[in-house]
Structure 1
Amino acid sequence: MPSLKEIRAANALINDATAPRVSVWVGGTSGVGKLTIKALVETGVSVRIYIVGRKSSEERTKTFTQELNAINPKAEFVWIEGEVSLLAETKRVCEVIRSKESSIDLLFLSTGYAPLGTREETSEGLEICQSLEYYTRILFIIHLLPLLQKAESPRVVSVLGGGLERSSVNTDDIDLKKPGSFSSTTGQIQYCHLNSIGLDWLANEHPDVTFMHTWPGWVNTGNVRRGNVDPNSWMGWIIWLVLEPLIKTFSMRDEDSAQRNLFQCTSAAFGGHGVPWEGKPGLSTLKKPEGGLFLVNYKGDCTPNAKNMATLREKAQSKIWAHTQSILEPYL
């Protein structure tokens, strides 16, 4: 496990040659994405950063980027409005980016929130957290892969629960639509597994791109308040009396989280040709330092989770990927 001191030392080596010169942040208007953008810009490098978010986030994001420009005038920010819980909107946003850029170095995906309320579907018929945490993330990757593959050291980072995979996943009701299938617990576990299974498939199909599924640990992002939970309901009271105090107590500092995530976005410890790393390299799901999906936790530990991932790959991956393709096909 790299220490925070080692991580900070590695991040101090980020320069114009090793930084992601063009990056796309889906979920960069708040939480881990926003913190990591700030850490990247504060290195002083020359970067172009696309931030995708809803209309309601535009003004505060504009204020945020103006503050960062005062720190680093070499940073360029491009705002793209989009309701990315919708697959049609995701496709449109990708078309805008593809019209502006010929290559992308980093795609950082951190949309979503804990599904603590009742099941809520988008106008496209998908449970909203599943759409944000899986389907639209995969769609972003597929649409932007041609640009990623033209970069020198492309990287895709999906932030959710990398390394927490169990040996089984619900393949009979992948979208948790049957009565009794969906709950806050089953939803979050299912979406975590779908991320790893889908990203593992893509990583093996595209070994020229570094794929990462990361688990940020406890970070006080306000995530538990983003769902459709009535604050006067029993779940609302649990969030206020139990979850929020627990998160505040055990969360790591925002700055520490930002540094750890920046390390994951830029370090050659996880494949590719990023910032040089002399420590022990991370191993992917293929148990190699190159190729395959990297599962990384909040400490920077990388685990292949070999036994569980092999079981999921053998017993569930083909069915889940076929189902994913059937959902995404109209938007490809």
Structure 2
Amino acid sequence: MIPLDIVNASNAQLRELGPGLVALFVGATSGIGEYTAKAFVKNSVSPKVYIVGRNASAADRIISECKTLNTDSNVEFLKGDVSELKEVDRICAEIKKKEAKLNLIVQTQGNLNLRGRDESPEGLDRKFTLNYYSRMRFITNLLPLLRTASTTTPHLSRSLSVLGPGNEQKINFDDLDLKNTFSGSRCAGHSIVMNDFMVEELASRETGTAFVHSSPFVVVSGAARELPLWARVAIKIATPVLRIFAVGEEETGARQLFLATSGLYPPAKSATGSATAAGTPVPKGLAVVKGMDGKVGSGGYTLNYDGEIAGKMNILDEYHNKGVGKIVWEHTMGMFEKAEKSEKAKPDVK
């Protein structure tokens, strides 16, 4: 585990990157996304921050609290239900109108409901979309802004998806989107493995940007709000015990921000001549870690909340040998194309 004082010292060095960093936090009106957004605002100079979620009143509170943390921060709320890709596209289009670059994308969207397959008009399960498809859609839509960030001072270009490396399961290659074999556990397993391999695939294609898939460990948040009443009551009763083992709000935000910005996890090819392109300086006594492909500093990383490499290597090694990265990439692009065609086929409503 990387000590918290090292994490905090590294995050404080974000100020040395200068003013005007631009960041997007999806799913940030509660929980891990909120905590990480606040950590970013606290440690940056005059940052521009977009937070995406469904709860406008929560967003108002967070914006006010961010202003207290950093009076020079500019935080804007973009309301949307990103369980549908058309909403992701709409939000991305809005950001592109306002920004030429994007230094950081942090995605934590998801829910803990116990419903079965809940299919959107796009033909995708909503939980699966939150955990995986919407995340990849935000990244691929906003790649031009990440590329610009990687080529302009301070050359910081990062993406963080917080879900669950280390909890990989065998996946069904005959039903990757779980159209016919959906269950909550299978959705989690597929989402985790596919996030794993997409950080590797993206890092190999976008060498100026670092891509991280991280685990949050145990965090007390509002993610259980869509569970049935009996489950919410049970969690409320258990919360005092959970807090004993859980990572606190401030520490969670600090650690996820560290994973998103530290030079321990650099892009595959940082901009030459820029000390900040790889992220904040590598802490003394530590070294750049191996990426998903087993190579040091390869740009795509699966990490535990404490900064160490995560992932069930027996499964990941087997899937590497099967070329699963390419399979997941092609499946994802195919599902995006299918969703686009479905949306275009709808009659105009005036």
| Counterpart residue number, 2:92 | 94
Give the counterpart of 1:269 among 264, 270, 275.
264
| Counterpart residue number, 1:139 | 137
| Counterpart residue number, 2:6 | 6
| Alpha-carbon contact 2:30-2:222 (below 8 Å) kept | no
> How much does 1:23 deviate?
0.6
Counterpart Cα distance in 1 of 2:20 and 2:176? 35
State the one-letter code of the partner of 2:185: T
SS across alignment from 1:12: helix
| Alpha-carbon contact 1:52-1:80 (below 8 Å) kept | yes
| Alpha-carbon contact 2:263-2:279 (below 8 Å) kept | yes
| Alpha-carbon contact 2:171-2:186 (below 8 Å) kept | no
State the one-letter code of the partner of 1:43: N
Give the counterpart of 1:254 among 226, 249, 253.
249
The 3 A distance-change label for structure 1 pair 318 and 13 is closer
> How much does 1:144 deviate?
0.3
Counterpart Cα distance in 1 of 2:178 and 2:206? 29
Instruction: State the TM-score, normalized to the length of structure 1.
Output: 0.89
| Alpha-carbon contact 1:20-1:105 (below 8 Å) kept | no
| Counterpart residue number, 1:155 | 158
| Alpha-carbon contact 1:44-1:74 (below 8 Å) kept | no
| Alpha-carbon contact 1:284-1:303 (below 8 Å) kept | no
The 3 A distance-change label for structure 1 pair 327 and 20 is farther
> How much does 1:105 deviate?
0.5
> How much does 1:188 deviate?
1.2
Counterpart Cα distance in 2 of 1:64 and 1:197? 33
| Counterpart residue number, 2:120 | 122
Give the counterpart of 2:316 among 305, 309, 313.
309
Counterpart Cα distance in 2 of 1:247 and 1:121? 32
Residues 195-206 of structure 1 correspond to what in structure 2 (within 5 A)?
Answer: 195-206=195-206
- Structure 1 runs of 4+ aligned residues shifted over 6 Å read none
> How much does 1:267 deviate?
1.0
Counterpart Cα distance in 1 of 2:280 and 2:83? 33
How many correspondences in the alignment?
322
| Alpha-carbon contact 1:115-1:183 (below 8 Å) kept | no
Give the counterpart of 1:175 among 171, 174, 177.
177
For structure 1, which runs of at least 5 residues remain unmatched after alignment?
none
Give the counterpart of 1:298 among 286, 301, 305.
305
| Alpha-carbon contact 2:164-2:192 (below 8 Å) kept | yes
SS across alignment from 2:302: strand
> How much does 1:38 deviate?
1.1
Matched, 1:22 2:27: no
| Counterpart residue number, 2:335 | 327
Q: How large is the RMSD of aligned CA atoms in angstroms? A: 2.3
Counterpart Cα distance in 2 of 1:304 and 1:237? 32
Worse overlay, 302-311 or 94-103: 302-311
The 3 A distance-change label for structure 1 pair 46 and 240 is closer
For structure 2, which runs of at least 5 residues remain unmatched after alignment?
150-154, 268-277, 342-350
Counterpart Cα distance in 2 of 1:299 and 1:230? 32
> How much does 1:46 deviate?
1.7
State the one-letter code of the partner of 2:256: N
Identity percentage of aligned residues:
31
> How much does 1:245 deviate?
5.8
| Counterpart residue number, 2:346 | none
Counterpart Cα distance in 1 of 2:331 and 2:11? 39
The 3 A distance-change label for structure 1 pair 125 and 185 is same
Counterpart Cα distance in 2 of 1:308 and 1:130? 21
